Amino acid sequence: MNAYDYWSITQSALATISFSFASILFGVPIGLGLALLRWARVPVLSQLVIMYVSIIRSCPAVTLILLIFFALPQFGISLDPAPAAILALTIGTSAFNCEIWRSALLNFPRDQYDAARSFAMPRGLRFRRIVFPQIWQASLPGLISEMTLQVKSSPAIAVIGIVEITRAALRVGARTYDPLPPFMFALVLYSLIVFVLVKAQRVLEQRQPIESRA
């Protein structure tokens, strides 16, 4: 491998980071919204959420990406590879995030919510001041774990032509007939990305006691 090979794989890390974090940015709040629908037991909608989560969680990322990229044009919706990849990754991670948020909501002491409601506290304020701080703290480890899995599942977007870390390493290995160095370098890049996520989790966990006392 020469310097250009290392640089090309490093450039592909930008695609991995961009698509992964874009889907995380959309998927975390969508997952929260879905979990709240189930927690509130909204008629019909909660059943639809259960069906959505069950189907999406059972669907491999590659299959979901191919389905969105090739099936949507049959309904008159044609997406370029980049938005199709973000949409597919967002749909996938939102289903898993929904279960993480829902687990925290199930463990949330609902009597606190009912007590705030008895004092006529507005619904939005009840959620912001009472519910969210507690479920955020409980959900944080699971959310970070799902984010790391999202980064590691990002090679699935290569099936629609997007060059991310694994695809770039595969190209370099095929050209040099020595696949070990590029894939070892790819492993280093993935490890760095995951390290940043884990570090962010530790920082947020250290801030939680301070914020909860404020």
Of 110, 115, 98, 5, the residue nearest 54 (C-alpha): 98
Asked whether the whole model's pTM tops 0.85, one would answer yes
Looking up tokens 């191919």 gives: 66
Q: How far apart are CA 88 and CA 81, in angstroms?
A: 10
Q: How far apart are CA 13 and CA 7, in angstroms?
A: 10
Render the burial of 179-209: b for 16+ CB within 10 Å, e for the rest.
eebbbebbeebbeebbeebeeebeeeeeeee
Q: How far apart are CA 123 and CA 127, in angstroms?
A: 6
Contact status, residue 9 vs residue 165, Cβ threshold 8 Å: yes
What is the pLDDT at residue 209?
52
In tens digits, what is the pLDDT along the chain, a chain of 214 residues? 888 899 999 999 999 999 999 999 999 999 999 999 998 888 899 999 999 999 999 999 999 999 999 988 888 888 999 999 999 999 999 999 999 999 999 888 877 777 877 777 787 788 888 888 889 988 999 999 999 999 988 899 999 989 899 999 999 999 999 989 999 999 999 999 999 999 988 888 777 654 444 4
Which residues touch 162 (CB under 8 Å, ≥6 apart)? 15, 19, 81, 82, 85
Q: How far apart are CA 177 and CA 9, in angstroms?
A: 16
Question: Within its chain, how far is the Cα of 94 from the centroid?
Answer: 6
- Rounded to 5°, the CA angle 179-189-89 comes to 100
Task: Name the residue type at position 156.
Answer: A
